[in-house]
Amino acid sequence: MKKLFVCILCALLAVSACACGSNENTQIANPFKDYETMEEAEKAAGFDMTVPETLDGREMTLIQVMNDEMIQVFYGEDENRVLVRKAEGNEDISGDYTEYGETETVDVNGAKVTMKGDEGQVKAAVWTAGKYTYAVDADQPVSRDTMAEWISGIA
């Protein structure tokens, strides 16, 4: 009798534990939407973005818009990607919160660009021009000159 009581009690506990959990599969909605062309992304975001077709041999691999407010373009694959972003405003939209050993502000075509990296190499750059803010983030560090060259082709 005691064993039956323990088995029933365990079954009731298991059922109540399952009842306390939610059967819903709640997920946060992905704020990024993929686009086939830059023209489609620009229409969704409500502003134009000029980017090169390639960056040092890296092909454009993905165009996305976040919440109809920011365009981001990926170049390359795997651990050799470069991300370029543009949005209205003047905030840092890089999404890169790494503490780099070196931060330097340089002039690139009249824009004050903050470049961040280590050992003379750059992994991230942010700047504003007009009413827009921009960011470039590279998986692999590049020279300041290379980053400045990339930035020259972005508007």
Domains of the chain: 31-152 (3.40.1000)
SS3 letters for the chain?
CHHHHHHHHHHHHHHHHHHHCCCCCCCCCCCEEEECCHHHHHHHHCCCCCCCCEECCEEEEEEEEECCCEEEEEECCHHHCEEEEEEECCCCCCCCCCCCCEEEEEEECCEEEEEEEECCEEEEEEEEECCEEEEEEEEEEECHHHHHHHHHCCC
pLDDT lower than 70: segments of the chain: 1-24
pLDDT of residue 11: 44
